[in-house]
Structure 1
Amino acid sequence: MSVVTSVPDRRFPLPPEPGLTPAEVVARAEAIAPTLVGRQAETEQRTFYAQDTHEEFTRAGFYRILVPRRYGGYEFGVGTFLRVSIALARGCPSTGWMYLFGAAHALAVATLFDERAQAELFAAGDFICPATVAPSGTAERAQDGHWVLNGTWGYCSGAPYATHFLGHTLVPGGEGEPPAPLMFVVPRGQWRRLDDWGRQLGLKGSGSHSIVVEDGRVPDHFTLRAHLSQLTVTEGTPGRVLHDNPEYGGGPLSFMLFELGALAVGMAKGALDTYEDLMRTKRTSFFPIVPRTEDPDYQSKYGEATGMIATAEAALLEGVRQWSETSAQGAAAFTREREMRLATISREVVRLCWRAVEGHLFPTAGSSSVRHGERIERVWRDMSMLHSHAGVGTFLTSLANRELARARFGVG
């Protein structure tokens, strides 16, 4: 880990709005979210959110929430970032998904890479960097020390407006050892986006296109001999020292899994918004014919779903608080066991939100309200698609449980 000397605040570049506060940036997201509802169909057709939406997010400061102050960011922290993401996903799940997975990896870069790499990667201030964890492609070391990358990486949510891409590949290990992961960050000029998204069941507008790198050259300091999901931070990180901020020393895996919980909460809140509108505007199908707001069964379904979603959001925010608190306790506090305990919170958040939508809101909304393109139908599709994400369908469902037990009981 590099030794970093302190740099006076006066040497930091100022962000576009130096006086902006976390509360104000969350309020901006909550104000923008309702405008996204009516644009969901066009977002799905385009397969990513519109240029004017991107420009609005830029002006609002959303792409700098996790960027360190040292590089002209706001450094508002993970709690603010996830609240913004919840608000946007509530308005449009695809937009929230694309935004979150584009902007989130500023935290990983600011945590894990050294000062030289960060100064170059964050030079533009706004940072949009989709990432994939599945190794693909190839990397070969050139004579000048650079890495030459070739390959295609799928599911790069956030690709349309991205400034960078974070990916993984495998490189030869030591003698007699299996191939080892190599994590790398590639600037936009070194890759191109394929037009291959939008035919999936849900999240059709999430900008989750594939990225192709052909003879891309990245310097060695843009790489780490590691996999993002397996990194330990218990011995400290470059970011914790460089930025004097413990959140740049927190567990990257548990934060990534909280991202999925935040999206689930936002989507479920959007479904509940629509169900409330249906309660106010529609009547029962069986006698006595009354407004749904007056029917005990609809009242029960609405109340049950509301409580489940509120509990999920409360658990998520408490989990994020614990994440930040653990970060502040020092590098040694963020053990693998701690990471997995936090991960299981996000698992239960996703489960609660899904049960609320799939078990209570979707079945009773009425067939006319779940036609293709209706808001609850879209949320149901998008949340179904969320369950196909490896973080939910594989890691949180099974791997996290086993890793937690092994860490707790010291089983290798």
Structure 2
Amino acid sequence: MTAARSVPADGFPLPPEPGLTPEEVVARAERIAATLVDRQAETEERGYYALDTHNEFLGAGFYRLLTPRRYGGYEFDLGTYLRVVSALARGCPSTAWQYTFGASHAVLAATLFSEAAQDELFAGGDFISPATVAMIGMAEPAEDGGWVVDGTHPYSSGSPYATHFIGHTLVPGGEGPPAPMMFAVPRAQWQRLDDWGAQLGLRGSGSHSVAIEKAHIPAHFGLVGTHMGMTSVVDGTPGLELHGNPLYGGGVLSMAQFPLAALSVGMATGALDAYAELMRDRRTIFPPFSPRTEDVDYQFNYGEAAGRVGAAQAALSDAVRQWTETAGRGPGTFTREVDLRLSMICRESVRLCWSAVADHLFPTAGSSAVRSGARVERVWRDMSTLHSHAGVSVFLASVANRELAKLVFDVTS
């Protein structure tokens, strides 16, 4: 593993709470999540979580969990961060979605961008940046060596309180085809459109479009030839060299899938909570009438769903372990094949959680429990919408299978 550059430890700015532990930050997420359950309707109505929730996340340190220590972040491990995501999703799926797809891209930025870029991106410590993968428009070279980018980027989850935006575009390729480029834009150079909230689910996830109009960015904010879903890390990364932490040297593709699995685990756990409450409070509708807790069918459905959610959590935890261990072995070990295999484990976690909700909890909760705004109904809507995410429904569902097989069998066509 490449060593971190020689920077005195006391030269790093301290985070707001230098003694904050992973256990405490997860406990904070669980406490906050309990207060989000009754605010789900207002969050959906607004289209994003409230300012006071945002301020609570700021005070809890949530936007610094994955920010490098070099910039006043906590640089916690990936497992801790994903436990926070699942805890929040258990309370409010929309809130957790907005949070994680703003905060998780600190790893993306700290892995792929140069030291000069990171010095600017993380200058405030708290980092919130949506990141989209569609290549929108064409970047124009600027006279000073930088770039001029514009275009409207839909589904920019995390945009309401964002500090930056990370997107993709194309750059002219001369006589050849245009090349992809990842770019970063500070918040002052883009506008959030008021176009979110009419979807089936995740209505409060802050997934608005980001409109960029002829924004000029310096050269180090544009990474030509880089795309979140296709970038190789086998030759090392700027982040690993700069920070010396494998967290910033692992596969980018699988890293992007972990939040989806963590969200699914949290959502399904929330549905299981609601189902358990129904079992305690309600009786069967056919004789012999009895508490649902004593009915063999309700017992079966609860147990079946709990087993699938538990298996999804276990699969995610082991995928994170594999990711961390592989990244820790240094450049050359985190191949595309490994990245795909770990991404597909996340896919299976999502499928297990969806099956728990769609096959066992939603159908048997009772029609009154799935009225609009009921907790089980909301989770069903949110998880249905999760499946409209292109990463889940297109890439992981089909493209990843074929690409993995081609790598295994060395097929190039």
TM-score scaled by structure 1? 0.98
Report % sequence identity.
66
Q: 1:411, CA displacement in angstroms?
A: 1.7
Q: Which residue matches 1:134?
A: 134
Quote the offset at 1:3 in angstroms: 10
**Residue 207 of structure 1: aligned partner:** 206
Which residues of 2 match residues 57-72 of structure 1 at below 5 A?
57-72=57-72
Once the two structures are TM-superposed, the CA of residue 94 in structure 1 deviates from its matched residue by 0.2
Within 1, Cα distance between the matches of 2:335 and 2:5? 27
Q: Deviations over 1:70-118 (max 9, x none)?
A: 0000000211111100000110000010000000100011011111110
> Any stretches of 5+ residues in structure 1 without a counterpart?
none
Alignment partner, residue 309 of structure 1: 309
Once residues 43 and 9 of structure 2 are traced to their aligned partners in structure 1, the CA distance between those partners, rounded to angstroms, is 41
Within a 5 Å distance, the mapping from 1:145-184 to structure 2 comes to 145-175=145-175, 177-184=176-183
One-letter amino acid of the structure 2 residue matched with residue 188 of structure 1: R
Contact 2:4 2:243 in 1 (8 A): no
**Which residue in 1 is equivalent to 2:26?**
26
- Residue 222 (structure 2) pairs with residue 220 (structure 1): no
Cα 1:3–1:190, aligned 2, differ >3 Å: closer, same or farther?
farther
Distance in 2 separating the partners of 1:239 and 1:227: 16
Tell me how far apart the structure 2 counterparts of residues 252 and 5 of structure 1 sit (CA, whole Å): 22
In the other structure, the counterpart of 1:386 is 386
Q: CA deviation at 1:138?
A: 2.9
The worse-fitting range, judged by mean Cα deviation, of 287-296 and 138-147 is: 138-147
CA distance in 2, matches of 1:206, 1:369: 23
Shift of 1:174: 4.0
Counterpart check, 1:296 vs 2:303: no
Deviation at 1:284, TM superposition (A): 0.1
Question: Quick check: 137-146 or 215-224, which moved more?
Answer: 137-146
**Map 1:73-112 → 2, pairs under 5 A:** 73-112=73-112
Equivalent residue letter for 1:338: V
The 2-side partners of 1:91 and 1:3 are apart by 40
- Cα distance change, pair 286–166 in 1 and its aligned pair in 2 (3 A): same
Write the letter of the residue equivalent to 1:364: T
Q: Residues 201-249 of structure 1: CA distance to partner in whole angstroms, max 9, x if unpaired?
A: 1000000000001121110101101111110000000111111101110
SS in 2 for 1:332: coil
3-state DSSP class of the match of 1:290? coil
Aligned equivalents of 1:5 and 1:396: distance in 2?
37
* Separation of aligned partners in 2, 1:361 and 1:3: 49
CA distance in 2: counterparts of 1:337 and 1:138, whole angstroms: 30
Between 1:166-175 and 1:303-312, the stretch displaced more is 166-175
Cα deviation per residue 1:156-205 (whole Å; 9 max; x = unaligned)? Answer: 00000000000001111242x21111110000000010000000110000
Listed as ranges, the gaps of 5+ residues in structure 2 are: none
Which secondary structure does the structure 2 equivalent of 1:347 belong to?
helix
Please name the residue that 2:342 is paired with.
342
Distance in 2 separating the partners of 1:10 and 1:222: 28
How far, CA to CA, are the matches of 1:289 and 1:394 in structure 2? 45
CA distance in structure 2 between the aligned counterparts of 1:342 and 1:260, rounded to whole angstroms: 13
Runs of 4+ in 1 over 2 A off after TM superposition: 2-5
The superposition leaves residues 33-76 of structure 1 with CA deviations (integer Å, 9 ceiling, x where unpaired) of 11000000000000000000000000000000100000000000
Secondary structure class of the residue paired with 1:204: coil
Q: Counterparts in 2 of 1:176-195, with a 5 A limit?
A: 177-195=176-194
- What displacement does 1:30 show? 0.9
Q: For residues 280 and 147 of structure 2, what CA distance do their matches in structure 1 show?
A: 60
Match of 1:150, SS state, is: strand
2:195 aligned partner? 196
| SS of the residue 2:155 aligns to | strand
SS at match of 1:137: strand
Task: Report the CA distance between 1:386 and its aligned residue.
Answer: 0.3
Relative distance call for 1:324 and 1:4 in structure 2 (3 A) is closer
SS in 1 for 2:211: strand
CA deviation after TM superposition for structure 1 residue 120, in Å: 0.8
Q: Which residue of 1 aligns with 2:355?
A: 355
Q: 1:74 to 1:238 in 2, by over 3 A?
A: same
The CA distance in 2 between the partners of 1:158 and 1:5, in whole Å, is 32
Paired with 1:3 and 1:60, the residues of 2 have a C-alpha distance of 31
Contact 2:168/2:182 (8 A) holds in 1: yes
- Alpha-carbon distance in 1 for matches of 2:337, 2:359: 32
- 1:255 & 1:105 partners in 2: Cα distance? 9
Pairing 1:313-332 to 2, within 5 Å after superposition? 313-332=313-332
Aligned pairs, number: 410
Amino acid in the other structure paired with 2:217: V
SS of equivalent residue, structure 1 residue 157? coil
On the 8 A contact 1:137/1:153 being kept in 2, the answer is no
Amino acid at match of 1:317: S
Q: What is the letter of the counterpart of residue 219 of structure 2?
A: D
TM-score by length of 2: 0.98
Structure 2 distance, partners of 1:287, 1:262, is 39
Which amino acid counterpart does residue 183 of structure 2 have in structure 1? Answer: F
Residue type of the partner of 1:178?
Answer: P
1:372 correspondence with 2:372: yes
In 2, the alpha carbon distance for the partners of 1:173 and 1:67 equals 34
1:85–1:96 contact (8 Å) kept in structure 2: yes
Structure 1 residue 405, shift from structure 2 partner? 0.9
